[in-house]
Amino acid sequence: MTASLNIALSKGRILDEILPLLGRAGIEPREDPAASRKLILDTNLPDIKLTIIRAADVPTYVQYGAADLGVAGKDVLMESEGDGLYELLDLKLARCRLMVAEPERLAARDDPKSWTRLRIATKYVNITRRHFAAKGIQTDIIKLYGSMELAPLVGLSDRIVDLVSTGQTLKANKLVEVEHIADISAWLVANKASMKMKHKPLTSLVSRLAEIVEQG
């Protein structure tokens, strides 16, 4: 009997980009995860199942062993601060950058070198606090769950910390990037106990995926 592997994925960008990669590794879900209301999906391989959850929940599922493997953005991993998982492979998918942004009119007379205290809206509270604490800059952080770009427009904050890919969203809201925090991509993560207990099937899948990522 081969041990079964459960892979946690989130709908949206990650799913759109990971499905072709899994397909190249010979793994096809039995139904379309984007359309299905099922939360656990069978694949063509009897020993591989996909669990569909919210992006921010992927590290939790993997840490507790509710999934053996997971695919999560580096942003989500950095924010979750958990230590119960291994970051195995940079899948180089869903790439973007985590940035500090502010209104154009503020940027015109702003100098990041002079920052001492900032009022920032973000969903990345931990990353933001750590990033600025390391530079000795104090932060008043306002936690939001989305649409961070709105905050400076309505006076909720002066600046935001958010993901940027094309830059269209910032531009449409008259915001500009002022500081780079991290380059972001989706990573394959694994539960630590699964790495021991299911070592063979797990590492063979990971090396198959690594080869495909290498091929680009």
Residues found near ligand PRT in the complex (CB under 6 A): 10, 12-14, 54-55, 73, 75-76, 94, 96, 162-169, 184
Closer residue to ligand PRT (CB): 3 or 87: 87
User: What minimum distance in Å lies between the beta carbon of 96 and ligand PRT?
Assistant: 3
Closer residue to ligand PRT (CB): 163 or 198: 163
User: What minimum distance in Å lies between the beta carbon of 30 and ligand PRT?
Assistant: 22
Write out 137-152 in H/E/C secondary structure. CEEEEEECCCCHHHHH
User: What minimum distance in Å lies between the beta carbon of 4 and ligand PRT?
Assistant: 26
Closer residue to ligand PRT (CB): 94 or 198: 94
Closer residue to ligand PRT (CB): 47 or 90: 90
First to last CA, the chain: 33
State whether the Cα torsion 195-196-202-208 is positive or negative. positive
Residue nearest to ligand PRT (CB): 73
- What is the C-alpha to C-alpha distance for residues 22 and 106, in angstroms, rounded to an integer? 44
User: What minimum distance in Å lies between the beta carbon of 27 and ligand PRT?
Assistant: 20
- What is the C-alpha to C-alpha distance for residues 72 and 115, in angstroms, rounded to an integer? 32
Closer residue to ligand PRT (CB): 1 or 35: 35
User: What minimum distance in Å lies between the beta carbon of 133 and ligand PRT?
Assistant: 23
Q: Containing H/E element for 10?
A: strand 5-10
Whether 67 contacts 188, CB under 8 Å: no
Whether 153 contacts 170, CB under 8 Å: no
Tokens of 188: 């394959």
Place of tokens 């984007």: 34
